[in-house]
Structure 1
């Protein structure tokens, strides 16, 4: 059976994710912006934490780890490349490594760009991809440490996964991201529909994540740099997709 997935709002606009295997009782959390909401969810569901998976070192993704472990001890997993700036790790991982979780495996994908040591976690049996600040809902993370080429390659490694894959990203940025995406593809009908769906969700206080890879492929400008309409929109008709990606990222950086 697929693992159960729970989205947990944290801080002002962050998300953590719990996945639970009912047969083994194992439960993993992906990133720990703060401990309180995660502990409350574990208690409400009667789950015991067994694993903590960290995607990258930024404080708004790891700063609650010590407080969480103080009340819910668990095995901490994170990138070997970032071990020097992550909370203390029980297991250091890199590209292609596999971590057992309940009845399935968590596959590690290195996705530098937002940071040089960012990793994503793919759970193929449950069709879950935890991307946090690499591939984001209708966007991608800012290039704080990595290069456009690194992020472009990282997104490409994730874009080839099955389209039904559930994409778990790290922030509630959908309203701004969809407004920006419409400046790139104003006639994209799926994007127009998504704008209305996002507005309705936020008006009702609902999260807009997770999404699916299929939806991102249809609407996320950073995954559509090979599309002629996107290339023309940024003045690079028939341009190299990497150059188009860099221009889209540059435009998003100055968009508000």
Structure 2
């Protein structure tokens, strides 16, 4: 399997997980259909599955057009089914979703929304975290609680350290400024910021990151307890 990053809208990323053995693919969180259709048609790849981490429009906006174009199957969280357009397969927490050569464990990670999930392709060590875990950040808490988000991040950070993290937005450079403000002596963070600046100056994505990098550098994953996490989340909301 290989992952292609498809920039969408202003700062969203959608991800194509491509099985070159049979020219088929999944797409994670298609914000819009056109750039995904263009890539797939150009490469003669069939879109078999649409995977949604949560219901926000900038993660499901392309669902219906893609489903119409490719007869794709929409896969999402059972308890969020009324908010995910075109959903066909209803997932539950802890379930192993397996179709063709694609295989992922579903991790329910509420906080940003109540029905947010992460797709952990554990065999390839790839995790698609939507708007729960960002590179050097985490999502705003819209529907859930601080406790839910803290527990959700703990679930993700328990994955193998070499797991590659693919998140929903290119927020890394702005997130790094908040991390530096609150963790100025972190040498791992300082080195990562140098890498981020090189990538962004060349117009390249800062994604994927890894669990190890986030444990070393992400102030939210380094929070020792719920109280300190909650204070950081409030500070970030007003940063």
TM-score (norm 2): 0.97
Corresponding residue for residue 234 of structure 2: 250
Cα distance in 1, alignment partners of residues 188 and 182 from structure 2: 13
Corresponding residue for residue 169 of structure 2: 171
- By how many angstroms is 1:45 displaced? 2.2
Structure 2: where are the runs of 5+ without partners?
none
CA root-mean-square deviation: 1.1
Which residue, out of 182, 196, 199, partners 1:198? Answer: 196
Q: Write the deviation string for residues 208-255 of structure 1: whole angstroms up to 9, x where unpaired.
A: 1111111111101110012xxxxxxxxxxxxxx110100110111001
Segments of 4+ moved more than 2 angstroms: 22-26, 101-104
Cα distance in 1, alignment partners of residues 100 and 124 from structure 2: 11
What pairs with 1:103-252 in structure 2 (closer than 5 Å)?
Answer: 103-226=101-224, 241-252=225-236
Structure 1: where are the runs of 5+ without partners?
227-240
Cα distance in 1, alignment partners of residues 31 and 221 from structure 2: 27
Corresponding residue for residue 36 of structure 2: 38
Corresponding residue for residue 62 of structure 2: 64
- Contact 1:104–1:125 (8 Å) recurs in 2: no
Aligned residue pairs: how many?
A: 239
- Contact 1:25–1:102 (8 Å) recurs in 2: no
Cα distance in 2, alignment partners of residues 26 and 99 from structure 1: 17
- By how many angstroms is 1:12 displaced? 0.5
- Contact 1:23–1:102 (8 Å) recurs in 2: no
- Contact 1:26–1:102 (8 Å) recurs in 2: no
- By how many angstroms is 1:24 displaced? 4.0
Q: Write the deviation string for residues 39-63 of structure 1: whole angstroms up to 9, x where unpaired.
A: 1111222211101000101111111
Corresponding residue for residue 83 of structure 2: 85
TM-score (norm 1): 0.91
With over 3 angstroms needed to count, the CA separation of the structure-2 counterparts of 1:104 and 1:60, relative to structure 1, is closer
- Contact 1:111–1:119 (8 Å) recurs in 2: yes
Q: Write the deviation string for residues 77-106 of structure 1: whole angstroms up to 9, x where unpaired.
A: 001111111112111111011211433411
Cα distance in 1, alignment partners of residues 156 and 43 from structure 2: 31
> Residue 221 of structure 1: SS of its match in structure 2?
coil
